[in-house]
């Protein structure tokens, strides 16, 4: 791995915006809503997940404002419960699960394989409509029925609550179908539509990550589907599958629920890891360090992730042996993740790093992943978990590892691929400023929550004792910083869509296959079936015109 490194220069002058691209191939609303083009479907998903991110963010701000003071602040206790239910469900099922695979996976996976589209374009569009239908039903149910169970729907509360949770459960069930369709489509695409030259070990690492994600989506989601159906049936008809009074077992719910919902964490994180593997080569201008290790550790996480669900049940009356076994398996996830982290750091080592917004997000990602991962290993230790169970420590942990990683990955991808998707650049200085605010704001929001949890503040409580006040104020202040960062990004990206500098084919000088097509790409991606003669992360023989990259500092 002693690649000669080319340093950054100026962007190629005189890039022209292509006359024909997927963006102007049909301009009616109908041509967008009935499109089979994977790139347009990706943009449909992008609009939808950004709306979800906005809604989830608003509800998060309501939660943080309520917790600003120890007593009641702006909403009532029941409204507060509904707010954290809305926040959790929207962010998990409507934002984090589809965010990277359905947007950037849809857009780039076929291009990275040298294909013209995904295997089943009609099903791809169907999955978007199914997602919209499920989300609408879920939101309608949440707003009119006022579900207050939290996103985990633990029985017996969820089956006996007087709020109407049945439409919510059915909405989640339907969104699950969309997730399955996307995953299935990607797996078949990867198996059948690789262009000549794209062998398995020449696939970009983002594709490997999406492949591992898709396997989890296809295998785990049906179990969640069945579980939501059972809860809905029990709530509506009083079946008693999870009700001990009728011979049922509430712990069975937890097993079935976490059999999906634990691997679901990797549905969210693995694609973000894939993004980092792509972007890190481009910003460090170096070959990826340990390609096979990174590719295989994605599959390793997907595999081990299926056998770790029991660590959510340490305090639910598991046998000591089960708890020990699940603890050990959970820690294996840490091993695979560490393999990736070391390889990424190895890639950065002696690189000619361009300090751009995507790189800032990589730094944030590594920090959140390592910090969140270490607290994860600590939580997987049974004796420690008993202390932290259901406290803000757990909330802070999963926001670090899951939300932190997904947000960093999502924003890195959005900035890195923005020129490719829309053909224009964003202003790098503003990008760095927003990235700084977001990384800082995220830390300021959740580090106090680690401390609060360790001091014993339980999660989901509406009021808290006076002594927790200072840290809660700090957390709310951090959340405001975070919101401010997102607003800046929304403004400059919206302006760049129309007025940004024309990017040209390859503004980053990246070696990824997707940068060989025009920006924005034409509808069919390639004029003829492409033949790739190099790997996707090979920087040792960068031709001069590709070696130039523009950035702010």
Residue entry with tokens 């220069």: 9
Residue 429 is encoded by which pair of tokens? 């200085």
Number of residues assigned to the chain: 553
Closest CB 421 distance from other proteins, rounded Å? 20
Least distance (Å) from other proteins to the CB of residue 492?
A: 35
Phi (first) and psi of residue 84, to 5 degrees: -75, -25
* 35 vs 476 by CB, closer to other proteins: 35
Residue whose tokens read 């990797």: 266
- Nearer to other proteins by C-beta: 114 or 504? 114
CB of 164 to other proteins, least distance (A): 18
| Shortest distance, position 510 Cβ to other proteins, whole Å | 24
The CB-of-180 to other proteins minimum distance in angstroms stands at 6
Which of 220, 243, 218 minimizes the C-alpha distance to 230? Answer: 243
CB of 193 to other proteins, least distance (A): 7
Q: Which is nearer to other proteins, 11 or 110 (CB)?
A: 110
What is the rounded distance in angstroms from the CA atom of residue 502 to the CA atom of residue 313? 53
Cβ nearer to other proteins, comparing 9 with 238: 238
Nearest approach, Cβ of 55 to other proteins (angstroms)? Answer: 29
- List Cβ<8 Å contacts ≥24 apart for 484-492: 484/437, 484/441, 485/434, 485/435, 485/437, 485/438, 485/441, 486/53, 486/57, 486/434, 486/438, 488/430, 488/433, 488/434, 488/437, 489/411, 489/431, 489/434, 489/438, 492/426, 492/427, 492/430, 492/431, 492/434
Q: How far is the CB of 383 from other proteins (least distance, A)?
A: 28
Q: Count of alpha carbons within 13 Å of 347, Cβ hemisphere only? A: 29
Smallest distance from other proteins to CB 195, Å: 9
Compare residues 76 and 524 and give the one whose CB is closer to other proteins. 524
Shortest distance, position 189 Cβ to other proteins, whole Å:
8
Nearer to other proteins, 52 or 223 (CB): 223
Q: Which of 230/421 has CB closer to other proteins?
A: 230
Q: Cβ closer to other proteins: 256 or 481?
A: 256
431, 492 in Cβ contact below 8 A? yes
Residues 118 and 186 sit within 8 Å (Cβ to Cβ): yes
Pick 236 or 540: Cβ nearer other proteins: 236
Distance CA 234, CA 166 (A): 9
Are 339 and 364 a contacting pair, CB within 8 Å?
no
Q: Pick between residue 259 and residue 539 the one whose CB is nearest to other proteins.
A: 259
State the minimum distance, in angstroms, from the CB of residue 511 to other proteins.
24
Query: What residues contact 465, with CB distance under 8 A and at least 6 apart?
Result: 70
Cis peptide before 520 (omega within 30 of 0): yes
Structure tokens at 108: 């780039």
DSSP-derived letter for residue 453 is H
Residue 53: partners with Cβ closer than 8 Å, 6 or more residues away: 91, 95, 99, 486
**What residues are paired with 323 via a beta bridge?**
none
CB of 411: closest distance to other proteins in angstroms? Answer: 30
- Listed in sequence order, the DSSP H helices in 456-530 are 469-499
- Cβ proximity to other proteins: between 120 and 303 the closer is 120
Q: Give the whole-angstrom CA distance, residue 505 versus residue 508.
A: 9
Of 376, 526, 396, whose CA–CA distance to 450 is shortest? 396
Q: Which residues contact 493 (CB under 8 A, 6 or more apart)?
A: 414, 418, 426
C-beta closer to other proteins: residue 59 or 241: 241
Nearest residue (CB) to other proteins, 255 versus 459:
255
Smallest distance from the beta carbon of 292 to other proteins, in angstroms?
25
Residue among 53 and 203 whose Cβ is closer to other proteins: 203
Min. distance of Cβ 525 from other proteins in angstroms? 9
Neighbour count for residue 461 (Cβ, 10 Å): 14
Look at residue 391 and give its three-state secondary structure.
strand
What residues line the site for other proteins (CB under 8 A)?
A: 110, 115-117, 119-121, 180, 184-185, 187-188, 191-193, 218-223, 225-227, 230, 233-234, 237-241, 243, 246-249, 252, 255-256, 259, 524, 529
Say how far residue 399 (Cα) sits from the centre of its chain.
12
What is the distance, to the nearest Å, from the Cα of residue 77 to the centroid of all Cα atoms in its chain?
Answer: 30
């Amino acid at each position: 791995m002693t690649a000669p490194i080319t340093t950054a220069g100026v962007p190629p002058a005189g890039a022209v915006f292509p006359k024909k691209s997927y963006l102007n191939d049909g301009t009616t609303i109908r041509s967008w809503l009935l499109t089979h083009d994977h790139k347009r479907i990706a943009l449909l998903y992008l609009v939808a997940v950004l709306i979800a991110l906005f809604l989830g963010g608003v509800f998060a701000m309501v939660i943080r404002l309520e917790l600003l003071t120890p007593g009641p602040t702006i909403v009532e206790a029941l409204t507060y419960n509904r707010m954290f239910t809305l926040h959790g469900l929207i962010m998990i099922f409507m934002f984090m699960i589809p965010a990277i695979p359905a947007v950037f996976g849809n857009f780039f996976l076929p291009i990275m394989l040298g294909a013209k589209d995904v295997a089943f374009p009609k099903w791809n569009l169907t999955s978007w409509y199914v997602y919209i239908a499920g989300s609408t039903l879920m939101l309608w149910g949440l707003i009119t029925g006022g579900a207050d169970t939290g996103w985990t729907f633990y029985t017996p509360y969820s089956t006996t609550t007087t709020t109407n949770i049945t439409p919510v459960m059915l909405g989640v069930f339907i969104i699950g179908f969309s997730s399955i369709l996307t995953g299935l489509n990607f797996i078949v695409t990867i198996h059948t539509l690789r262009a000549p030259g794209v062998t398995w070990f020449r696939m970009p690492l983002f594709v490997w990550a999406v492949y591992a994600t898709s396997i989890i989506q296809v295998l785990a989601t049906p179990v969640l589907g069945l579980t939501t159906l059972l809860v809905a049936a029990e709530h509506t008809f009083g079946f008693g599958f999870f009700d001990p009074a009728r011979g049922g077992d509430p712990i069975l719910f937890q097993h079935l629920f976490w059999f999906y919902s634990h691997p679901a964490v990797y549905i969210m994180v693995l694609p973000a890891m894939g993004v980092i593997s792509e972007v890190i080569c481009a910003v460090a201008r170096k070959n990826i360090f340990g390609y096979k290790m990174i590719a295989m550790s994605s599959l390793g996480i997907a595999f081990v992730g299926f056998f770790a669900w029991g660590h959510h049940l340490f305090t639910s009356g598991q046998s000591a042996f089960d708890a020990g076994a699940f603890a050990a398996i959970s820690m294996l996830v840490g091993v695979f993740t560490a393999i990736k982290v070391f390889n990424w750091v190895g890639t950065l080592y002696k690189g000619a790093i361009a300090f751009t917004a995507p790189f800032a997000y990589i730094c944030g990602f590594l920090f959140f992943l390592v910090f969140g991962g270490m607290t994860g290993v600590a939580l997987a230790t049974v004796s420690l978990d008993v202390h932290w169970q259901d406290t803000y420590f757990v909330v802070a942990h999963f926001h670090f590892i899951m939300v932190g990683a997904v947000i960093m990955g999502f924003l890195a991808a959005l900035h890195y691929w923005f020129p490719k998707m829309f053909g224009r650049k964003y202003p790098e200085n503003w990008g760095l400023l927003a990235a700084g605010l977001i990384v800082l704001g995220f830390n300021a929001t959740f580090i106090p929550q680690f401390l609060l949890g360790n001091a014993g503040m339980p999660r989901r409580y509406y009021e808290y004792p006076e002594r927790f006040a200072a840290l809660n104020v700090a957390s709310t202040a951090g959340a405001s910083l975070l919101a401010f960062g997102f607003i800046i990004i929304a403004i400059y990206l919206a302006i760049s869509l129309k007025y940004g500098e024309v990017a040209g084919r390859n503004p980053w000088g990246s070696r990824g296959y997707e940068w060989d097509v025009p920006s924005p790409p034409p509808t069919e991606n390639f004029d003829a079936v492409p033949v790739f003669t190099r790997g996707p992360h090979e920087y040792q023989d960068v031709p001069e015109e590709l070696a130039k990259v523009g950035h702010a500092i």
